[in-house]
Amino acid sequence: MKIIGLTGGIGSGKTTVAKIFNSLGIPVYNSDERAKFLMNHSAELITAIKKVLGKESYKNNTLNREYIASVIFNDKTKLQTINSLVHPVVAKDFEQWSNQQTTAPYVIKEAAILIESGGYKHVDKIIVVTAPIEVRVKRVLQRDNTTKEEVQARLNNQISEKERQSYADYIVKNDGEHSLIKQVLTIHQSILEED
């Protein structure tokens, strides 16, 4: 099974692009959503997270995302520690999921930090979604009901757009000027034509 990584900086529009691939019948694994699910449902992960971030990391037996974000996006060591706990669990979950996708020509693994986590080493091709920084900030402010400072803290923890693009086999420009559907269809056709 061919695995295509899909990544992009915060607010670039990865999820929108993933939905277009999904509408073409391509199974999409959303690493961020699965990570949140596993952080709420894996007893092993919950225990490990509480050990690193304290009991405040869960409120009413649910991940306290605001508290966790306020800690890890301002402390790179804690961010790396949490990532080192979560990534292996997500990788195992992805492997189980992809083994079930027997009829698709390929699968998409959507991950915000595909490059930073080293996950890019385990995919066959990489699609990077790009968008101008001001557009990305505006999208995140609208989507997450957050502050510019919090968005900036998250941006500071991601690699630069230029570095991310250096890993790309395909680039999708999500700037409002280029048709996302046309770009996705071109990439889809290219992937299908490779053996």
Average pLDDT of every residue of the chain: 92
pLDDT digits (tens, 9 = 90+) for 44-80: 999 999 999 999 999 998 999 889 988 988 888 998 8
CB 123 within 8 A of CB 114: yes
Please give the radius of gyration of the chain, using alpha carbons only, rounded to the nearest integer.
17
Comparing 28-32, 50-54, 146-150, the range with the smallest average pLDDT is: 146-150
At residue 73, the pLDDT reads 80
At residue 172, the pLDDT reads 98
Q: Which residue has the tokens 């803290």?
A: 153
Is the pLDDT score of 150 beyond 90? no
Measured CA to CA in angstroms, residue 115 lies from 54, 59, 69, 110, 164 at distances of 28, 31, 20, 11, 7
Q: How confident is the model at residue 177 (pLDDT cuts 50, 70, 90)?
A: very high
Q: How confident is the model at residue 195 (pLDDT cuts 50, 70, 90)?
A: low
Q: Is 194 helix (H, G, I), strand (E, B) or coil?
A: coil
Is the pLDDT score of 164 beyond 70? yes
Q: Is 132 helix (H, G, I), strand (E, B) or coil?
A: coil
For 176, the token pair is 């409002």
Give the 3-state secondary structure percentages of the chain, helix then strand then coil, rounded to 5.
55, 15, 30
**Beta strands of the chain (E only): which ranges?**
2-8, 28-30, 58-59, 62-63, 106-110, 125-130, 170-173
At residue 143, the pLDDT reads 86
pLDDT digits (tens, 9 = 90+) for 93-126: 999 999 999 999 999 999 988 998 889 999 999 9
CB 113 within 8 A of CB 158: yes
Measured CA to CA in angstroms, residue 159 lies from 62, 135, 156 at distances of 29, 17, 8
Q: Go through the domains of the chain in sequence order and give each one's CATH number.
A: 1-24+106-195 (3.40.50.300), 28-100 (3.40.50.300)
At residue 183, the pLDDT reads 98
Is the pLDDT score of 171 beyond 80? yes
Q: Is 1 helix (H, G, I), strand (E, B) or coil?
A: coil
